A and B are shown apart, each in its own frame.
Chain A
Amino acid sequence: MEIVLIDQISPDQVIIWSWKFITLNVTILYTWLVMGILLFVSWLATRNLSSELNVSRWQHFLEVVISVIRGEISEMTKKNADAFIPLIGTLFLFICTSNILVVVPGFIAPTSSITTTAALATCVFIAVPYFGIRRTGLLHYLKEYFQPNFIFFPFHVMGEISRTLALTVRLFGNIMSHEKVVGILLLVTPFLFPIVMQALGLLIGVIQAYIFAILSMVYIASALSAEEEVHSHVKKEGMKA
């Protein structure tokens, strides 16, 4: 059995086209595919949007998904959730769709590439101060970094960076390792067992999408100086992860 390096098992390594520093690899390609699917379903659901009591199945499905996201966000922030829905909702839908599509043979989840998870975590990293400053003001937001006193400033900064890193690695590690485990199991026990692992993979994929979205929301909520309840939620989520 040939030993492969971690660098070589990422979909980033499968380059389809490249010109100078511009490269088009499988990660970007499948990202577009996922984007395309999401946009197509959105278009399908919203083209005959109705605010009447009788709605189409697609609209109903998406309404359920979005109202669940909205409910989760509202529960956490105790504020109007609509401002956070584009970010948190997109994170969840994108990661969830990517992870679920793993069951399709030949599809490699973009989330199994550390570049993608890092990009998503970076978006969250930027979103936290963005929402914090927008809600409480720059001064008040920066003041939080010096609480309870200035000595804690580097720890706060380290906390910010480390949790972004944690987001990146958690998602990447889970998805990538699952794919690798299924690949290895195929070699060891080629029949029933990989199927069970695939089913487990679906569960893990959805849970990871949920965790990523929820943690992002928790970070943003903490920046909005949310109540004590949020911190207990953070702990709970941290333990789950």
Chain B
Amino acid sequence: MHIDWFVFAAQIFNFLVLMYLLKRFLYGRILKAMDDREAKIAARFAEAQALKEKATEDSEFYETRNQEIAEKTEHLLNEATMAAENRRKELMEQVRAEVDQVKTRWQDMLVREQDAFFHDLRQRAAKQLYATARKALADLADADLEERIVDEFIRRVKTLDEEKSLQIRKATQGKTNQINIQSAFEISEDRQAQIHEALKDRISSSFTIRYLLQPDVVSGIELRVNGHKIAWSLNEYLETLVESLTETLQREAHAA
């Protein structure tokens, strides 16, 4: 087997040159590129890991916050519901009170109207009754009603019991010894004298009489002295009539 030593040396040299060149142009570069890439990938992984951890942290943070917000919302909602309920109750109370007030007012008004109506009714009825009675008396008894009223008044004065006459006497002995006689009609001079006589007999002579024309004293005559009175008028009868009428009307209203 022949070995050419020159070729042998040349091949060693060639190999060393190839080794050097490959080291310079291939291994060095490629290994560096590979290592760089590995480092880069490792860095990316580390970064991704860090980001993942941060994301997890953030996710937990936001989850907690969401929960807090949800709790707060629920709390606020409950509060609002309660406030609304309270407000509703308050308004209901207010409305109820207002309704009550309106009702009371209305009822008052109704009562007032009723009173006014009955007052008016009484007046009219009295007038009517008075006119009717007078006409009837004038037609039937052939005597003037007013005369009959005065007669009745005089009769009453005359039949006055002791206690009452004493009371009136005492009343006339006060500061003003004046007796007021009110009537719905003019009393003639004769009749005035008769009244005076009757009073003088029954009570006392030390007084003055003042006659007043008062249409309110329905078909009647009335003596007033310091809170005491002797009277006859249609009012008494009319009041009975009005009371009975009022009762009937109210019964009717309730039934409706």
Chain A residues engaging chain B, CB cutoff 8 angstroms: 6-7, 10, 12, 21-23, 25, 27-28, 31-32, 35, 38-39, 42-43, 45-46, 49-53, 55, 59, 62-63, 66-67, 70, 82, 85-87, 89-90, 93-94, 110, 113-116, 118-120, 122-123
Chain B residues positioned under 8 Å from A39 (CB to CB) = 18, 21-22, 25
Q: Is the CB of B26 within 8 A of A119?
A: no
Chain B residues engaging chain A, CB cutoff 8 angstroms: 1-4, 6-12, 14-23, 25-27, 29-34, 36-37, 40-41
Evaluate whether A85 and B6 lie within 8 angstroms (CB atoms) in the complex, with A31-B11, A32-B14, A63-B34 already known.
Answer: no
Complex formed: what's the CA distance from A113 to B22 in Å? 23
Complex formed: what's the CA distance from A25 to B14 in Å? 14
Q: Is the CB of B22 within 8 A of A43?
A: no
Evaluate whether A62 and B1 lie within 8 angstroms (CB atoms) in the complex, with A21-B6, A115-B11 already known.
Answer: no
Q: Of A12, A53, A70, A119, which contacts B12 at CB under 8 A?
A: A119
Q: Is the CB of A51 within 8 A of B25?
A: no
Chain A residues positioned under 8 Å from B17 (CB to CB) = 35
Q: Closest CB of chain A to B115's CB: distance in Å?
A: 107
Q: Is the CB of B37 within 8 A of A53?
A: yes
List 9 contacting pairs A-B, 8 Å CB cutoff, sorted by A: A12-B7, A43-B25, A46-B25, A59-B30, A66-B27, A89-B22, A94-B18, A119-B8, A122-B12
Chain A residues positioned under 8 Å from B8 (CB to CB) = 115, 118-119, 122
Evaluate whether A23 and B4 lie within 8 angstroms (CB atoms) in the complex, with A51-B37, A120-B15 already known.
Answer: yes
Q: Is the CB of B27 within 8 A of A89?
A: yes
Evaluate whether A62 and B22 lie within 8 angstroms (CB atoms) in the complex, with A25-B7, A31-B14, A123-B15 already known.
Answer: no
Q: Is the CB of B6 within 8 A of A46?
A: no
Q: Is the CB of B7 within 8 A of A45?
A: no
Q: Of A10, A45, A87, A116, which contacts B11 at CB under 8 A?
A: A116
Chain A residues positioned under 8 Å from B18 (CB to CB) = 35, 38-39, 90, 94
Complex formed: what's the CA distance from A116 to B4 in Å? 10
